[in-house]
Amino acid sequence: MAHVFENYRNDYHKSADMDQNLKFKMKYKKLKRLVKNTVLENAALCDQVAQMQENLVIVKAERLFLLRKLCQLQGETDIASIATKVQNNNLNTSLIDCDSGTTKRCTKKRNATDNTNSTGDSNAYKGKTKRCGKIPKRLVQLIPLDIHGRPLFPISLGDLTVYSLGEVVSDRPAYHTEELIYPVGYCSTRVYASLKNVQTTSLYTCKILDGGAKPRFEIVSDSDLNQPLVGSSPDECHSRLLAAISPLLCNVPPKGANFFGISHPTIQNLIQSSPGTRKLPLYKPQRFEVSKSLPGENDGSPIPEKETDPGINFHALHRTFALNSYRIKQEPIEHDLRVLHDLA
């Protein structure tokens, strides 16, 4: 009897051990399954993070492109100025909201004191503030840009074609004025009357070179490449061109900046957006606005060169002297007859 009980006891303990081993085996399989799922989930998250980083790089590039395009369209001098405006917009608005009550009270007190002192001075002060707050905007044309927001050359603007904007020189004051910038390496071409025959056209290449303390302006005709017309200013260069075409054109006022194209709103906007412009001590930044009309439309066209300017436009030159010939038929004048004979 004792032997049977001993066998039953041993079988019971064996079955209990087997159940316990089976229980731990099930827990092991469950933990193994959890670890496997965790590893797979971690790998999927790593792939998602890598994809988000790639998308972030693409979005940053697109944001930079949009900032540069916005800089060109709105006529800002630098992309950093737009970025700082965007970053400080909320701070400025909060500061204005906080100080609005105090500023209103200060302005009321100031107006009260001004009115008690003299009404004429206050009116003059108000007129000055209104005039200083408005700066006229100039119209610019839309030009093709690359994926980085840089203009595609050559830039064709009627008779003017620009091949290079050059580099802004900020350490020499002679390379800019209050209205214009003379970038070194600037190159453009323009169609105008030929040096050899006034009735035919010629292609003139205009360049701005590094001349040391002062810039060097050159105009070279395709009919005479060995004799460039050199000057220390655009007007000097343009006046020499008019005198070389005909001595009778010396009476035409020179407009070298228009002939070179550096005063064209579209080109001036691009030059103003170049690096180093903010370091210029004399230059006053201009405000530009994109023209809503197409470049080929006449109404609202942003082309600054007037079609009636004989010093820039070839057809305007001949229209002017054709009008003089009509006047000569009515009232012959010896000077006008000589002009018509020389140009014919």
- Provide the residue ranges of all domains of the chain, joining segments of one domain with +: 1-86, 88-134, 155-305
Percentage of the chain exceeding pLDDT 70: 67
Reported confidence tier of residue 60, pLDDT bands at 50, 70, 90: confident
Percentage of the chain exceeding pLDDT 90: 35
DSSP letters of 203-224? Answer: EEEEEEE--TTS-EEEEEETTE
Task: Examine the pLDDT at 129 and tell me if it is beyond 50.
Answer: no
Task: Examine the pLDDT at 178 and tell me if it is beyond 90.
Answer: yes
Identify the bridge partners of residue 209 per DSSP, sorted by sequence position.
Answer: 216
Copy the structure tokens of residue 183. Answer: 């970038």
> In a 3-state reduction of DSSP, which class is residue 216?
strand
Q: Average pLDDT for residues 320-340, to the nearest whole number? A: 51
Torsion of CA 161, 304, 201, 297, to 10 degrees: 80
The CATH T-level fold of domain 155-305 is Double Stranded RNA Binding Domain (3.30.160)
Distance CA 8, CA 20 (A): 18
Could you tell me the pTM of the whole model? Answer: 0.56
Q: Return the pLDDT at 142.
A: 87
